[in-house]
Structure 1
Amino acid sequence: MTDGDPRTAVAQKPSRTDTYGPGSWTDVRVKGWGANGSWQLGDSSSTANRTTPAMMPGLTGAYITSLSTGALGTGAGFGLALLSDGTVDAWGYNGYGQLGDGSTVQRAMPGKVHGLDNVVGVAAGGYHCLALLSDGTVRAWGNNGNGQLGDGTTTYRPTPVPVRNLDGVAAIAAGSYHSLALRSDGTVWAWGKNSLGQLGDGTTAYRPTPVPVRGLTGVQRIAAGTDHSLAVVSDQRVRAWGYNVYGQLGDGTTSPPTGYSTVPVTTVNLDGVVEIIAGANHSVALTSNATLRTWGWNNVGQLGDGTTIDQLRPVRVSGTSAVDITAMAAGYGHSLALRRDGTVLGWGSNAYGQVGDGSIDPNPRTTPVMVFKENGYPRKMIAAAAGGYHNYAI
């Protein structure tokens, strides 16, 4: 992930002498797969689900620095692309103005978010979006029923507005109805829905403007799931807060009697964490020795440990080498891992083809499988992002 967003993957631009397919750097493309009911795969010719990566017209990977995906349903997915010129493109479902074009009309092809430039990071939530600007301020647009845009209101915004009382931001993350910002001083600020403690301020009161997460300093990474939040702190351990009925906080409990924690707790049996992401109700960590650990909800195998049993503490993803993984992404019920050789592994729910192995199957993939190789040739993927039921790759 990243700019802090679990669904965002940052592409590091290789030299132009690198080859990523039959051509050169100019051959770098963006592809998508999985659910496509609202044109979230960016192809106006069809809303058919895709079981393998397919070209997304209008997007050229050579000009994209990061991707982010949002969705709360198979027919409500959308995507964001941060371009190298500091502007943002958006496409797909737009019922709450989350495409930022001033309308609520779906887009089958990428179009510009209005009034944004000098953007250095993007994050897509359930139906809202965040953009981090080069001056350390944040803009937000889309659904705002829980104050997740941070402008002091609950009015939806079809074009970007400033998040109030927030500067010096280094990273952003968006949950379904809440938002997070990591400031350069190592503190985390949160706003939006808080009925399950996902803002970490010790209360369950919604916040239409940012408030500090209680007791967090030295934070290096952040991530947001549907209703839980994660942070990696300076000791390379994970702090987590919010909804915990499935064990997604990883502290070995389900936070009785409420099922949530309004303040950060420590994820157990986990250290050396260099990156963190959150799916809907599961969490994924990459450690310094390149192992993947997962915990939380596992009803469709999204933890990749060979079972469908929820895990209250981190477990190792089956079949992943200790030196093989460089990045990961997580959707509603599936997960992805980018390998050092540029291939991608997928596991979990595959009901919409989101695992990308060429099939649609009601039976989950409880251990990683290879995302389909085009004509037997493993095009090298340099970034991948997972939405609710769909994915993108550069």
Structure 2
Amino acid sequence: MEKRRLWLKKEKKKSKNLSEMTECEMKSETKCDPTAFNSTFLHGSPTPICSCLVSFFNSHFISFNYFSISATANVRYSLNVPQSALAGDFDSGNLENISEVLMEATSPVRRVLFISAGASHSVALLSGNIVCSWGRGEDGQLGHGDAEDRFSPTQLSALDGHEIVSVTCGADHTTAYSETRTEVYSWGWGDFGRLGHGNSSDLFTPKPIKALHGLKIRQIACGDSHCLAVTMEGEVQSWGRNQNGQLGLGTTEDSLVPQKIQAFEGTPIKMVAAGAEHTAAVTEDGELFGWGWGRYGNLGLGDRNDRLVPQKVSSVDGDKMVMVACGWRHTISVSSLGGLYTYGWSKYGQLGHGDFEDRLVPHRLEALCGDNISQISGGWRHTMALTTDGKLYGWGWNKFGQVGAGDNIDHCSPIQIKFPQDQAHPLIQISCGWRHTLAVTDKQNVFSWGRGTNGQLGHGESVDRNTPMILEALSVDGCSGQQIESSNVDPSSGKTWVSPTERYAIVPDEPVQGPSTSVRGNGSDANVPENDVKRLRV
């Protein structure tokens, strides 16, 4: 025991002089084997000295390119090993010193790499390939093995070790992609086959989609009840609900498993976006396509007809498109010159043109003509746009404060969103849910605002917010160094059952905005069924 005390005392002294020790070790001819260190330090074998710790961090903090849905730039991050993974022959005093070394070397321990917002839930990908989810969990969309809501970010333990590089939320379901395993995982509400597993069952923990195994995926887009995946070769797979042709397969039959969109054969796709029942895509050559439900002009084709296969949008002034996003019934696109275009439904001003009239073809948003747009996101009835210099604009439906303007009135023109002065750093990512919004700054702070009933804002409460509020559990300026609660579920024990039909309410569609025969010259008005109804989630 006396020898151990002397050893611990010596080790504490070493850790205080880590910088000197590191310099000394670098000059030494003796090298520490990072591979051996990984097996000993992480799995509870003999305690390494601090020089091995430095060698381990140098060998494991590697950069990794990840494709962001904004289609603007690669996000670079480090695969940091979380402090909670450490194990070994430590007593409390020595562990405290090692903890200080870790915090200094990796501060913060976790960094948010990507965020995604669903109807009433949120998901984040953190450094170390950690996935967290929070908000509504009734349909299993959080992946924690139960139907409980979570009011703060909770680590999705079922995906630990799967090396997830992207996450995407649908309305009440979620997907994730593992690049090393070439697996797409899905979970949540399964009606219409939106999970891609060949049935309509719900899943309360992630499950790989067999039909996509082995495919290298560039991007995944999830709408209300359908999903699409773009491969590295530019091919598109689609699955789920297809009542209005939103899968692009030439039929109106739902698909319980992914199917390749044959209409894009020979036309490489750069990215896709999914709305409630319509879909949009941008090709590698900058062409814009739309298909699915078109009642509000949200396909951009000059009429209100549905399309069962992708059709090219021709009226964009010859500009090449580089990205596209879909709201519930409206569409947003950005040109190579940074111009922003909107079209479709505008009852709540979500198109941003200063009025509430639908547009049947893409219209340039003049209010932002002096700004270069780097990222866009569409909510149920609101829209957000991020500029290259990190400014954020929002407009549209604002009943719950989801625009973030500090009020609860609708805005039919873009308004710049203000952040707390001491936290007003440029933004690098945004994501709109149905009634809430998420954003990440270049200082790795996460903000959320809007509807909070199910905890989707992540603040540990069920309160709405009409201005951005820092999500402390995931932010550098909050408490991101603390341990995030884990769901601790066995991936094989998740509940599953078929979604009952009573989850739907039959509701009439919104009336068409503008004259019945035309909308200020934006295109002809096709026949609209008088009794057209949609099934909406209760």
Tell me if 1:228 matches 2:239. no
The answer to whether 1:342 aligns with 2:405 is no
Alignment partner of 2:407: what SS?
A: coil
Change (3 A) 1:63 1:12: same
CA distance in 1, matches of 2:373, 2:109: 21
From 278, 283, 291, the counterpart of 1:241: 291
1:185: how far off?
1.8
1:137: Cα distance to partner? 2.2
Partner SS state of residue 130, structure 1: strand
1:317 and 1:123 map into 2 onto residues whose CA distance is: 27
In structure 2, relative to structure 1, the CA distance for the partners of 1:352 and 1:195 (3 Å cut) is same
Say whether the 8 Å CA contact 1:11–1:64 is kept in structure 2: no
- Are 2:220 and 1:172 aligned? yes
Point out the structure with the larger strand share: 1
Higher relative contact order (CA 8 A, sep 6+): 1
Is the 8 Å Cα contact of residues 100 and 141 (structure 1) preserved in structure 2? Answer: yes
Distance in 1 of aligned mates of 2:173 and 2:246: 16
In the TM superposition, what is the alpha-carbon distance from 1:162 to its structure 2 partner? Answer: 1.1
1:94 CA drift (Å): 0.5
C-alpha deviations, 1:75-125, integer Å up to 9, x for none? xx1100011211210000011100001010000011122422211111100
Indicate the SS of the match to 2:363: strand
Alignment of 1:238-387 (within 5 A): 238-255=288-305, 260-270=306-316, 271-361=319-409, 364-375=410-421, 378-387=424-433
* Correspondent of 2:125 among 69, 82, 106: 82
Residue 263 of structure 2 aligns to a residue in which SS? coil
Distance 1:195 1:297 in 2: 19
Counterpart secondary structure, 1:309:
coil
1:140 to 186, 205, 218: 186
TM-score of the superposition, structure 1-length normalised?
0.81
Query: Which residue number in structure 1 is paired with residue 479 of structure 2?
Result: none
TM-superposed CA distance for 1:323, in Å, is 4.5
> How far apart, CA to CA, are the structure 1 residues paired with 2:228 and 2:423?
39
What is the identity, as a one-letter code, of the residue corresponding to 1:358?
A: G
Residue identity in the other structure for 1:106: D
CA 106–165 in structure 1, closer or farther in 2 if over 3 Å, else same: same
- 8 Å CA contact retained: 1:88, 1:113: yes
Q: 2:141 aligns with which of 98, 114, 122?
A: 98
Partners in 2 of 1:11 and 1:95 — Cα distance? 34
TM-score normalized by the length of structure 2: 0.60
Tell me how far apart the structure 1 counterparts of residues 404 and 197 of structure 2 sit (CA, whole Å).
Answer: 38
Amino acid at match of 2:288: V
Residue 251 of structure 1 deviates from its aligned partner by 0.8
Partner Cα separation in structure 1 for residue 309 and residue 141 of structure 2 = 29
1:228 maps to a residue whose letter is H
Greater Rg by CA: 2
2:243 to 174, 195, 202: 195
Residue of 209, 219, 224 corresponding to 1:163: 209
1:51-90 mapped onto 2 (5 Å cutoff): 63-71=111-119, 77-90=120-133
Aligned length: 337
Match of 2:156 in 1: 113
CA pair 101-10 structure 1, distance change in 2 beyond 3 A:
farther
Once residues 92 and 5 of structure 1 are traced to their aligned partners in structure 2, the CA distance between those partners, rounded to angstroms, is 22
> For the aligned residues, what is the CA RMSD?
2.2
Letter in 1 for 2:295: V
Report deviation, 1:5: 5.7
3-state DSSP of counterpart to 1:342 = coil
- Structure 1 unaligned spans of 5+: 16-59, 72-76
Give, as a single letter, the amino acid of the residue that structure 2 aligns with 1:120.
V
- Larger CA deviation: 370-379 vs 274-283: 370-379
Q: Give the distance between the partners of 1:372 and 1:183, measured in 2 at CA.
A: 37
The 1:4–1:129 alpha-carbon spacing in structure 2 relative to 1, beyond 3 Å, is: farther
Distance, in Å, in 2 between the alignment partners of 1:228 and 1:321 is: 27
Change (3 A) 1:143 1:5: farther
Residues 128-176 of structure 1, C-alpha deviations (whole Å, 9 max, x = no match): 1111111332100000011111111111000011112112222101010
CA 1:10–1:355: 2 relative to 1, 3 Å = farther
* SS, match of residue 175 in structure 2: strand
- Identical positions, percent: 33
Report the CA distance between 1:378 and its aligned residue: 3.5
Kept in 2, the 8 Å contact 1:189–1:212? The answer is yes
Q: Which ranges of structure 2 fall in alignment gaps of 5 or more residues?
A: 1-65, 79-107, 441-538
Q: Which residue of 1 aligns with 2:436?
A: 390
The 8 Å contact of residues 11 and 65 in structure 1, kept in 2 or not, is answered as no
Q: For residues 93 and 9 of structure 1, do their structure 2 counterparts lie closer, same or farther at Cα, with a shift above 3 Å needed?
A: farther
Deviates more, 1:335-344 or 1:60-69: 60-69
1:209 aligns with 2:247: no
Q: CA deviation at 1:322?
A: 4.4
Given candidates 120, 124, 131, the residue that maps to 2:176 is 131
Partners in 2 of 1:154 and 1:206 — Cα distance? 11
Distance 2:69 2:269 in 1: 14
Alpha-carbon separation, structure 2, partners of 1:79 and 1:96: 14
Aligned with residue 12 of structure 1, among 69, 75, 90:
75
